[in-house]
Chains A and B, each alone.
Chain A
Amino acid sequence: MIKLILQEACLSIAGNKLRSFLTTLGIIIGVCAVVMMVAAGQTVQRIIQERFVSLGANLLIIRSERPKANVKISGPTTSITLEDANSLKRLRGIETVAPVLSANAQAIRGPNNWNVSVIGSTPDFMKTQNWEINLGRMIDKQDIRKGTSNVVIGQEVVDELFKDEDPIGKIFRVGKNQFTIVGTLKAKGTSSSAANQDASVIMPLLTVQRRFNRYAKLNALNHIAVKFVETEDLNIVEQRITRHLRARHKIKDEDPDDFRIFNVAEFVENIRLIGRVLSILLAAIASISLVVGAIGIVNMMLVSVTERTREIGIRKALGAPNLWIMMQFLIEAVLISMIGGVVGLGLGIGLSQVAGKIYNVEVPFSLWPVVLSFSVAFFVGVISGVFPAYKAMKLDPIEALRYQ
């Protein structure tokens, strides 16, 4: 029976092509919008996530935090020191510790100059950040000990100051001082760490202390990057560090920490959540157009029932059961909606891939918008078909036959 009704419904839809198409258009646009918005949300989520995950989930950043009660204090704005960093190395479960002292400066070479972030650290810094050397070498232990002016520069600095040259061995100026390039970093785009990797100049910590920092004697740091053993539990490591640093800083039990530990895992989780909320929000906005599409179907089906009153009368007189009449209109609505769903889905996937090509980002293809748009289209069809179908079913055959 369903097959026959389906045939009848197909014939009805095909019999009024323009109207069927216009009605379907509402659903096409709705589903297309939802699919595209979901794809956009997922893409944004994925891009952000990828950038953060590249840092590694077992990275902790320790920054100083001034107690809130102090309005203004003179002296260094940081309570984290090189000694803190060195002492952390002995803690259980800690893999790598990198002290970081940074500054902003202008890199100059001939007529070119570029704003760079100067990072003073140790060779371990590369391990904590998952950064890699492209050409040359990383600054080594000897550089660290002596505080040499050997530096490693990011791709952006290479591009801006050494257009088509090999930068290794070249000398350039950062701020007032001369530096020698011993290596370059692999380009990575904007990273999520405090520094922009591609615009970085990495040099020995001692060098930054001497040439850029006023508080060199205090051995103050901007932050400490800590990479812990992956099998360790994040919270336990954090507790361990907190206890250790509180003891070192001689903080009384009732006083708050003068430092703060940021962990990437939590951050990534938050970003993921934001991405998910973003996707849902976009999809919700897009589904408004689906609702409009559904109203379009209701409208068309109601017109169709009125227009085909006589047909319904004929069918009833010839023995069509009520259920059959109802199913015929219901299936017609569902069919129109499903056709719209399929076309809209195809269009949505196609357009989001095209947009991905234009903006040069990879748009993920996931199954759930497919499943979602099919089921949504189905339910939209059912919901918008029920009332008109019921109306058709309830028509009195005598009245319907008399209808002109």
Chain B
Amino acid sequence: MSVISIQNVCKTYVMSAGMSQDVLKNVNLNVEKGEFVAIMGPSGAGKSTFMNILGCLDRASSGNYYLSGKNVSKMNDNDLARVRNKMIGFVFQGFNLLMRRSILDNVSLPMIYDKDGRDPRVRRARAEKLLDMVGLTGFIDRFPNQISGGMQQRVAIARALVNDPEMILADEPTGNLDTKTSNEIMDFLVKLNREQGITIVLVTHEPDIACYAKRLVRVVDGQIAYDGDVKQYMENNKA
């Protein structure tokens, strides 16, 4: 079963005075379990809107979006919140950690919104395990502003994985990082994808970063302009 199955999704923003703008036009996309997909596209092409819909932060105007077989396109806010909580792990450009909370609390955060995460001991054990996995064992009581950007992004990755999501949605995860750290983070995502079979959807505008993925989806002018192998696309489009 596909993790993501998007069928004829359109997104129209209604402006004032009856004007409207079609941002996404009949987009179709299938992502299978264990894939590593990079989404690229020029700014203003609908990339962000597409990502918001993929991340269940926004709803399509029409069309259907099945996330692991579940039709999320008609869900209400609270059901979408539950889907985000259980099925999607977010990794953001700006890390988006809670600054006044410890690393451990940050990683535990998604669990408190889930009925299965009500036991504090379970939460702590799970968060510690994931922090261990991202190599931050000794930092659990630190605060986000006490560790480097690369570490913060690893905390975010641990947080994204804490509820065993169906996929990780990474929105410019290296945008705030230097090249070396960027490569470390990307290597880590690749490792996650390879070793644990975690589905990753990566939104980026940097071709170097997109190259870590296997498959490339280019969104141009609200439509998918390319969907195929990354390397092949890069070969064809060498300037």
Contacts and interface: CB of A to CB of B under 8 A. Distances in A.
Interface of A: 1, 4, 8, 11-12, 15, 310-311, 313-324, 397-398, 401
A392 to B, nearest CB: 14
A401 B85 contact: no
Given A15-B100, A401-B92, A316 B81 contact: yes
Contact of A324 (B55, B113, B163): B113
B81 A320 contact: yes
B114 A319 contact: yes
A398 to B, nearest CB: 5
A319 B57 contact: no
A12 B100 CA distance: 8
Contact of A318 (B77, B101, B113): B113
Contacts of A317: 55, 57, 84, 90, 96
A398 B84 contact: no
Nearest to B113: A319
Given A319-B82, A322-B78, A4 B98 contact: no
A354 B217 CA distance: 76
Given A318-B84, A319-B82, A321-B81, A398 B52 contact: yes
A4 B81 contact: no
Contacts of B159: 318
Most buried by B among A12, A316, A319, A401: A319
Interface residues on B, range: 20 to 34
B118 A4 contact: yes
A398 B57 contact: yes
Contacts of A398: 52, 57-58
Chain A interface helix/strand/loop/mixed: helix
Contacts of B163: 319
Interface of B: 52, 55, 57-58, 77-78, 81-86, 90, 92, 96-98, 100-101, 109-110, 112-114, 118, 159, 163
A12 B85 CA distance: 22
B54 to A, nearest CB: 12
A316 B55 CA distance: 12
A320 B113 contact: yes
Contacts of B77: 322
Given A397-B57, A398-B57, A314 B112 contact: no
A318 B57 contact: no
B96 A314 contact: yes
A319 B96 contact: no
A318 B95 CA distance: 13
A319 B78 CA distance: 8
A401 B163 CA distance: 21
B59 to A, nearest CB: 11
B90 to A, nearest CB: 6
B58 A319 contact: no
15 contacts: A12-B100, A15-B100, A313-B96, A315-B113, A317-B84, A317-B96, A318-B109, A318-B110, A319-B81, A319-B110, A319-B163, A320-B81, A320-B113, A321-B81, A322-B81
A321 B82 contact: yes
Most buried by B among A310, A322, A401: A401
A311 B98 contact: yes
B130 to A, nearest CB: 14
B42 to A, nearest CB: 19
Contacts of B82: 319, 321
Contacts of A11: 100-101
Nearest to A313: B96
A324 B85 CA distance: 13
B145 to A, nearest CB: 13
Given A313-B96, A319-B163, 17 more contacts: A4-B112, A11-B101, A12-B100, A317-B55, A317-B84, A318-B109, A319-B82, A319-B113, A319-B114, A320-B81, A320-B113, A321-B78, A321-B81, A322-B78, A398-B52, A398-B57, A401-B96
B78 to A, nearest CB: 5
Contacts of B84: 317-319
Nearest to A319: B85
A310 B96 contact: yes
Contacts of A320: 81, 85, 113
Nearest to A4: B112
A1 B113 CA distance: 9
Contacts of A401: 57, 92, 96
Nearest to A311: B98
Contacts of B86: 319
